Structure 1
Amino acid sequence: MHTIDWIILSITLLFIVFYGAWKTRGSKNVKDFIKGGNETNWWTIGLSVMATQASAITFLSTPGQAFHSGMGFVQFYFGLPIAMVVICMVFIPIYHKLNVYTAYEYLETRFDKKTRTLTAILFLIQRGLAAGITIFAPAIILSAVLGWDLITLNVVIGLLVIVYTVSGGTKAVSVTQKQQMGVIFSGMFIAFYLILQYLPDDITFTKALEIAGASDKMNVLDFSLDLDNRYTVWTGILGGTFLMLSYFGTDQSQVQRYLSGKSAKESQLGLIFNGLLKVPMQFFILLVGVMVFVFYQFNSAPLNFNPKAQEVVLNSKYASDYKALETQHKDIESQKKAILFQGLNSSNTELLQELNERDKVLKKEAKVLISKADNSVETNDKDYVFIQFILNYLPKGLVGLLLAVILSAAMSSTASELNALASTTTIDLYKRNVASSHSDAYYVNVSKFFTLAWGILAIAVACIANLFDNLIQLVNIIGSIFYGNVLGIFLLAFFFKKIKGNTVFTSALITQVLIFFIFYFGIYNLEQQGLKPVISYLWLNFIGCISVLYLALLFTFKQLDVKNKITLLFISLGIF
């Protein structure tokens, strides 16, 4: 990195930190600190909701996902607009009517304290882990750039977020996320424009799409019914809808964003705004990754984008074998470039696809050699594709800007998570179960303490984290293990008035054990053995939700009215 890159990166990040701390200094009561004084307008809510979900992992992993697998990942978000409409119609009116600070307060008014506490704990577990990952992701980037150790970077990034989140609470998060989203959108559009400029003169955007399509990178829609296929239209609409309903409707890191709205209408408009922009935004980020793929059809690409992996294998006894693979890889690159300059037709498109398949085989063999050289080194390089392009090809100044994009996303998402973790711990656990009669100033200080504590814990999680296939998938896997169960609890609260707290509590415990069992034996254990998983992890959202509904209805069958018995019958038919 050059001096100008350091200046741009430092000014951007420090401005966000100090602006957020200064703008929201002096929050004296719980309403200001946790709900931002209910002063947030709809477009700020929309940007804040979007920024909370769009962590550094989104801008680090998603282009790499598209580079390797194409545009199909966008199907994961197909359920989001549906979820936004449902939340606006059902969740928001209830939350605003009850004037709650957290989503889980409602569960006590509907069921009992232990159900509220259990649901809050499930949220704290999964979101606490996810917060560590959102810190770890950008630490990987700077580790590759600067050669610093990951632990130091995890601590530095975590402390930057803690400074303004402890200082200003929810309002600080919302205020800074507007600036962060501005940096993010500017940086990504500039990167996209430059990628197109770097393509050969006769390769227009239309031709670039044709090249990507010939390499199977533009297959956006997959209507197959294969349950172990992670990304299809059906997993996106069904599994994705349940995941998004739970995430945006019951996850405090998102609920807290729109609970700060001036009114229920402002909150609803903010979520609709997010629903309209989120899928196009993800499509665009994936398209950036596809254009990076096209760029590397005309420029030399490493056999593995992880610089640490390359370094390890080239300094091992497998160096000659690896170099032989690199030679074959470069030969394939030359052949593909020649085909593309000739122009695509049916015969050379088939040859291009054959060369791509041969290159995939070489990359798999390279990963085997890397593992033999050092099995502790991550062979999966999806998360390194975009950052390597940024570092090697973008001009001075823009490298700093793109790094600021990724770090801004990390800070915004982590700040929301720490803010929500602290609020839930303070309101749902500490105030409700430990100390219920103190002043507002006391609970503000307690919330600041828990923000600091969760920040330290997130840093600790980041320090022991390892890449697992792909970071963005890891976050979604963690969410899928818990979200379906939590969503089911809320649906029971909203729509099944005769179900009582003891029944819900028991059903939720059984469901969570069941989901852990399915994930470990039906997905994780099989993948570790190199076998196909029984189902995609996205289906855990649907299974968890249906399971808690089914068990709760089954346990109270005698007390159910005809409508609920029919509901139970339909769920039973769907299961069996």
Structure 2
Amino acid sequence: MRTIDLVVFLAYLIGITLFGSSFFKKNKSSSEFTLGTSKIPSWVITMSIFATFVSSISFLALPGNAYITNWNPFVFSISIPIALWIAVKYFVPLYRKVNSPSAYTFLEQRFGPWARIYVSVCYLLTQLMRVGTILYLLALALNAIIGWDIATIIVITGVTVAVYSLLGGFQAVVWTDAIQGIILIAGALISVAYILFNMPEGPGQLFSIAVANDKFSLGSFGTSLTEPTFWVVLVYGFFINLQNYGIDQNYVQRYMASKTESAAKKSAFWGGVLYVPVSLIFVFIGSALFSYYHSGAASLPVELQQPGMSDRIFPYFIVNQLPPGLTGLLIASVIAAGMSTVSTSFNSSATVFLTDYYKRYSKEPVSDKKALRVLYISSTIISIIGILVAIAMINVKSALDAWWKLASIFSGGMLGLFLLAAFTKITKSTGALIGTITGVLVIFWLSLSSLLAGDYKWSVHLHSFLTIVFATVAIFLVGFLVSMLGNRKRDHLSISES
């Protein structure tokens, strides 16, 4: 790694840590730690929502995927505006009305404590796995770029994020998110410009090679449910994005931190919509890299052309093709994408622990001073566990993959339960509970079907993207129908008794 790139890289790490930690004096209460103050500008909340959605996985995986295949992953982004419209119209006003820092208070009001516990446990488990996965994959990318030991990179990046998110609280998270969002956009645009103007025969050659190899295709428009066709990815994207923007604690905190409901709606919408053109830039980079390396402008090592190595192509380009200084900036971009997501998980997980567990089940009134102490302690513990999960992935990745799949199985029931609570008048929890159990069983069934023999009579072979789709629909429909039947039965008994 060249000296100037190392200087840029270290300057970013030190600078973002000092800046985030500078908000320590403004964390005088638990409310400021979890929601900040009313003085946070709307554009900061907007950029924070955008940066929370983008992780280092997106920054590296989208170009890698587009390099190997086409623009099929971009179809996921096309569904975002539809999901955002529903989230902005229905969910943002709902959370502002409930007026709780936790997204899951609403579920207890509708269906009782079990719903709040179930979803909050799923959330915390998912966030721990998410933090570990992002830190681990970020370390893999940086290992390829700068050559440092993977465990060392995990500890450095994890501790860096933990320090400023712990000391600075929510304000540090959203402000650093905003800066990191700007940096990663700048890094992506610089990469596009460099490739365009360094093609041997000019920018036009990039497009001619990409078109000749069908690199701008959005995928098959067929009706198969076993392949990631345009329609499968579009439907999957809608459900995942509705889950993200509609019920995810990471975003709900930002809705609640906005000055007004109108400001929250605008930040939610524009923060989400911004990801659409940025993800387009990411997939364009993948196609551009394909044209760049197939034009003879540079050569790609044989080992990076093997299956499963696509995520390392963009890092290789950053290190070996970009001029000194720009490499350091792009490394900072990769780190920014990961740190923004991880810092959000640390803060939101601590918020859920305090609101949904400590305050909810404390036998004595919790003073604000004690609540702030709980937030510090829980944030530290969550940070440590996340870092340990990432380190454990180095040697026992298969075991942690199993935990990740288990967390995904249970978290798959979250969206259906929220839709049932928000869009029906069901007041009894029995129908919701039966619907949730049904949804989880559907997820188990569809997940295990891919492992069963093709002639097994109960196996169903669908693309894994459709699992959350069928599970969500099952929870909503079963929960609604069971409740309706229960109400009719009670009405019938009342008439008979009279």
Tell me which residue corresponds to 1:551: 478
Corresponding residue of 2:72? 72
Q: 2:244 aligns with which of 247, 259, 276?
A: 247
Provide TM-score, normalisation by structure 2: 0.90
- Aligned 1:38-437 pairs, distance under 5 A: 38-200=38-200, 202-204=201-203, 206-220=204-218, 222-230=220-228, 232-297=229-294, 298=296, 299-305=298-304, 380-434=308-362, 437=365
Q: Distance in 1 between matches of 2:174 and 2:180?
A: 10
Number of the residue aligned with 2:494? none
Q: CA deviation at 1:38?
A: 3.7
- Relative to structure 1, the CA distance from residue 476 to residue 402 in structure 2 (aligned partners, 3 Å threshold; closer, same or farther) is farther
Shift of 1:480: 6.0
Q: Structure 1 CA distance, aligned partners of 2:463 and 2:364?
A: 43
Alpha-carbon contact 1:123-1:482 (below 8 Å) kept: no
Shift of 1:37: 2.3
Q: CA deviation at 1:538?
A: 2.0
Q: Is residue 435–residue 475 contact of structure 2 (8 Å, CA) maintained in 1?
A: yes
- In the TM superposition, what is the alpha-carbon distance from 1:166 to its structure 2 partner? 0.7
- SS of residue paired to 2:25: coil
Change (3 A) 1:475 1:165: farther
CA contact (8 A) 2:351 2:375 kept: yes
Retained in 2: the 8 A contact 1:480–1:540?
Answer: no
CA deviation string 1:247-281 (max 9, x = no partner) = 11111122222221111111100122123322111
How far apart, CA to CA, are the structure 2 residues paired with 1:475 and 1:63? 27
TM superposition shift of 1:511: 2.1
Write the letter of the residue equivalent to 1:269. Answer: K
Long gaps (5+) in structure 1: 306-362, 368-378, 563-576
Q: In structure 1, the residue corresponding to 2:274 is in which secondary structure?
A: helix
Q: CA offset at residue 237 of structure 1?
A: 3.1
Q: Counterparts of 2:260 and 2:368 in 1: how far apart (Å)?
A: 23
Structure 1 Cα separation of the partners of residues 181 and 216 of structure 2:
27
1:140-162 CA-to-partner distances (Å, cap 9, x unmatched) read 12222343332222111110000
* Cα distance in 2 for residues equivalent to 1:475 and 1:289: 31
Alpha-carbon deviations, 1:548-570, whole Å to 9, x = none?
Answer: 112212432424579xxxxxxxx
Cα distance change, pair 468–195 in 1 and its aligned pair in 2 (3 A): farther
2: CA distance between counterparts of 1:512 and 1:198? 51
SS in 2 for 1:465: helix
Tell me how far apart the structure 2 counterparts of residues 490 and 252 of structure 1 sit (CA, whole Å).
12
Opposite residue 185 of structure 1, the aligned amino acid is: I
The answer to whether the 8 A contact 1:54-1:409 is kept is yes
For residues 71 and 244 of structure 1, the distance between their equivalents in structure 2, rounded to whole angstroms, comes to 18
Q: Which moved more, 1:541-550 or 1:23-32?
A: 23-32
Change in CA separation of 1:541 and 1:468 when aligned onto 2, cut-off 3 Å: farther
Kept after mapping to 2: 8 A contact 1:78/1:236: no
Deviations along 1:290-310, one digit per CA (max 9) or x if unpaired, are 1011110023212222xxxxx
- State the AA in 2 paired with 1:228: T
CA distance in 1, matches of 2:65, 2:406: 18
Distance 2:450 2:406 in 1: 13
- Is residue 2:5 matched to residue 1:5? yes
How far is 1:171 from its partner? Answer: 1.1
> Hey, what does 1:326 align to over in structure 2?
none
Q: 1:533 to 1:292 in 2, by over 3 A?
A: farther
Q: In structure 2, do the counterparts of structure 1 residues 269 and 476 end up closer, same or farther at CA, with 3 Å as the change threshold?
A: farther
- Structure 1 Cα separation of the partners of residues 368 and 421 of structure 2: 29
Query: What is the deviation of 1:81?
Result: 0.7
> Equivalences for 1:489-508 in 2 at 5 Å?
489-508=417-436
When residues 479 and 284 of structure 1 are mapped into structure 2, their CA distance, relative to the original with a 3 A threshold, is farther
After superposition, the C-alpha distances for 1:199-227 in whole angstroms (9 at most, x for unaligned) are: 10x232x3311211111211025322111
Q: Which residue of 2 aligns with 1:540?
A: 467
**Deviation (angstroms), 1:114:** 1.4
Residue 227 of structure 1 aligns to a residue in which SS?
coil
SS at match of 1:558: helix
Question: Greater CA deviation, 550-559 or 398-407?
Answer: 550-559
Opposite residue 242 of structure 2, the aligned amino acid is L
Residue type of the alignment partner of 2:302 = L
Unaligned runs of 5+ in 2: 490-498
CA distance in structure 2 between the partners assigned to 1:260 and 1:474 by the alignment = 35
2: CA distance, partners of 1:8 / 1:93: 42
Seen in structure 2, the aligned counterparts of structure 1 residues 180 and 511 have a Cα distance that, compared at 3 Å, is: same
Structure 1 CA distance, aligned partners of 2:264 and 2:482? 36
1:137-196 CA-partner distances (Å, limit 9, x unpaired): 221122223433322221111100000111122111111111111211111111111111
Instruction: Measure the CA separation in 2 of the matches of 1:462 and 1:561.
Output: 51
Matches of 1:75 and 1:465, distance apart in 2:
30
- 1:475 shift after superposition: 13
Q: 1:62 to 1:494 in 2, by over 3 A?
A: same
Give the fraction of aligned pairs with identical amino acids, expressed as a percent: 29
Q: Match of 1:182, SS?
A: helix
Q: How many residues align?
A: 480
Amino acid paired to 2:32: D
Q: Secondary structure at the match of 2:436?
A: helix
Distance of 2:445 and 2:216 partners within structure 1? 36
* Counterpart in the other structure of 1:453: 381
Stretch moving more, 451-460 or 216-225: 216-225
Superposition deviation, residue 24 in structure 1: 4.4
Whichever residue aligns with residue 41 of structure 1, its letter is P
Q: TM-score, normalised by structure 1?
A: 0.78
| Cα distance between partner residues in 1 of 2:291 and 2:41 | 41
SS at match of 2:413: helix
Secondary structure of 2:210's counterpart equals helix
Q: Give 1:9 shift.
A: 0.8
Q: Please give the alpha-carbon distance, in whole angstroms, between the structure 1 residues aligned to 2:299 and 2:105.
A: 56
Q: Secondary structure at the match of 1:72?
A: coil
Q: 1:63 to 1:466 in 2, by over 3 A?
A: farther
